[in-house]
Amino acid sequence: MNDQRGGAPVGPAELAKRPKVKADSDRAATRAPLLDVSLKNLDDFTVSSAGGRLRVEATVDARGLDRHRRYDTIPVTRLRKKDLDPELGTKELDGLVPGGVPTAFLPRRARPTHRLPPGQGKDLDQGGTIFGTDDRYLFDDLSFPWRTTGKVRTVGHWGSGVTIGPRHVLTASHVINWTGGEDDGVAWVTFTPGYFDGKGPWGEIEATRVIYWIQAPGQLSDDQTAFDYVVLVMAERIGEVVGYPGYRTYDKDWNDKELWQYIGYPGELSSGERPAFQGDGVVSSVGQERTSGQTGYVLGHFNEFTPGQSGGISWGWWGDEPWPRVIGVGSTIGSTAVQTPSGTTTGDNEYGGGPALSSLITWARTNYP
């Protein structure tokens, strides 16, 4: 493998030429919660299989089914300067390509794909910021790394996310339904990798803990955007099956270059039921903020970004590395108007990232392996 640490990732033209990497013969496997319901109030139930399908039937009285989840309330861990080992301040983390899975450098378009009404494909206000023509497309692809992305759900919210370790998921802090103080628990959070039209091939995985720097509200200042990300510790080791990307701290030398792919679940495209891809993203500016002895980045960009894509990831591919590396997490929308990049940071959309993101992921992987 080439050492590409000092260089920029490859651009979209080169990625488009790369052939799909065939799967090896060894398939990774884990236990996936395809059905997880409470049996409270159920005195009579049966489980049967026929025609390749599983069916659960129960006698349900006027009380109905108990709706509580295994993890209705989960604990949180706020990181502080004293929690960090200086030796964990790495600038990059490796990913994992699971056995038995092919790798594709561009995702396959969904069929039937989303189409805007006639005459509205350009300069259309989508409820977020679209710059000129909307270049995103919906995809349906379970090859690596697209299978690592998915939908994050919590009480009253949804967003996007990606596996970032053996049982770790990365999403935005403002996607979490924060309800209390710094150490209070939060309501349930789930992640469905490969989510498409209501379900995913590996079920809906519950989080057991949220690890964070700040509890971000819905409206963010720059010092909040720079730390607008959390790592979820999951109940299942789903990252070992779907795989996960690596991470690399963003370098300002990559500004203004078409290098980044972005994946998320925008609400205005199929109501957030299908993932969207954009493949020629540009980061235009880098701002730095500090908290808890850490440096977070505000990565300003003029790529398409609309509600539901929060928590989605921006990543790039380096050399012949087998996985992409995340450089930012979808955070803030600059405005709700179609516009043209101004050459300044006015009205830009923003990712959160920087060394603080690397520290957060590293701490989560180390303390919850």
Lowest mean pLDDT among 8-17, 127-136, 226-235: 127-136
Q: Is the pLDDT of residue 125 over 70?
A: no
User: Residue 263: which residues within 8 A CB-CB, separation 6 or more?
Assistant: 107, 146, 149, 160, 162, 275, 276, 277, 312, 313
Supply the pLDDT for residue 115: 56
Query: What token pair was written down for 192?
Result: 């469905």
Q: What are phi and psi of 199, to 5 degrees?
A: -155, 170
Q: Mean pLDDT, to the nearest integer, of 213-241? A: 91
Supply the pLDDT for residue 226: 92
Q: Mean pLDDT, to the nearest integer, of 42-61? A: 83
Sign of the CA dihedral with 15 first, then 16, 18, and 20 last: positive
Supply the pLDDT for residue 121: 45
Q: Is the pLDDT of residue 337 over 50?
A: no
Q: Is the pLDDT of residue 335 over 80?
A: no
Lowest mean pLDDT among 135-149, 219-233, 294-308, 311-325: 294-308
CATH of 12-28+73-367, one of 3.30.70, 3.30.870, 2.60.40, 2.40.10: 2.40.10
Residues of the chain with CATH 2.40.10: 12-28+73-367
pTM of the shown model:
0.87
Query: What token pair was written down for 151?
Result: 């939908």
